[in-house]
Amino acid sequence: MTALRNSGFRHIEVERIAGSLGAEVRGVDLGEDLPDAVVAEIRQALLENLVIFFRDQTLTPETQLRFARRWGEIHLHPYMQGMEDYPEVLEIVKTPQDKKNFGGSWHSDQMFTARPAMGTILYGKEIPSAGGDTMWTNQYLAYDSLSEGMRRMLDPLKAVSRGDNFSSHDGKTRKEYYADKISMKVKDPGSTQTVTTHPLVRTHPETGRRALFIGGHVHRFEDMTEGESRPLIDFLMQHSTRPEHTCRFRWKSGSLAFWDNRCTQHFAINDYPAETRIMHRITICGDTPS
């Protein structure tokens, strides 16, 4: 791994894990009440690398929440039930009996809400002996590597995202589709907004950079039918997840990933059929994309 240069880090050590995005951060215990100067450097590392990883952390739901609250308001998932004692923490579980895993497709968290997630903090509690990796892709690169003509065409488009984007599963809702496939508890979103229109190309509020804002929740473009939209959606999903735009992380118990949903997608790989994987996830509210 190659260390970042000229980034001015004084309190943490940062090493990149891939050319496109992703870095491992060392020298910090996330279970402590961190000084503002350390949090500022973690923010810098996140903005530079889009997803950052911490090893050998010992966290409880309380200490994970304390760290998460340094970044903003905590988001409650509209479809999935949080932990009984800690509703802001989503326990992501896959057992050998489960047919599906949670997050097993390319997506950006909560694209279908009015304020899509700024960041997600995922902590590894129980990890398979092999498999269960997660991949991320750089949406800045996905936009920058398009032709000038394609960027001009995409810039004014708006994408309609929905929480239950299960058009390929006989029109079933998320609760119906997952009923016999996962052991996690699915809930009714009630009056929570789960269909939203956002720019297809968004400007990151902190870096000012342009990024594709595409993911598995997108089902059509504004003022276009699903049939008209599908070829372009398929192209953009394939383009944005090209290998040279991605990184891959091998989990261990005590590992933590913190990623920026405003400029990434991620994919949880389901390749451990005979083992159990347990993660604790906290999602941080973001802004309205522009």
Given 198, 210, 280, 281, which residue is catalytic?
281
Instruction: Reply yes or no on whether 281 is catalytic.
Output: yes
Given 75, 77, 107, 220, which residue is catalytic?
107
Residues 76 and 88 sit within 8 Å (Cβ to Cβ): yes
Given 202, 266, 277, 280, which residue is catalytic?
266
Token pair 């999935």 is found at 80
Given 109, 204, 220, 260, which residue is catalytic?
109
Burial class for 74, CB neighbours closer than 10 Å (0-12, 13-18, 19+): middle
> What whole-number distance in Å separates Cα of residue 65 and Cα of residue 200?
31
Sorted by sequence, the CB contacts under 8 Å of residue 280 that are 6+ apart come out as 59, 61, 64, 83, 89, 90, 91, 92, 122, 123, 125
Which helix (H) or strand (E) element contains residue 226? helix 226-240
> What whole-number distance in Å separates Cα of residue 186 and Cα of residue 269?
21
Burial class for 234, CB neighbours closer than 10 Å (0-12, 13-18, 19+): exposed
Three-state SS for 149?
helix
The C-alpha torsion from 109 through 235 and 203 to 150, rounded to 10°, is -170
Instruction: Reply yes or no on whether 266 is catalytic.
Output: yes
Q: Which are the catalytic amino acids?
A: 107, 109, 266, 281
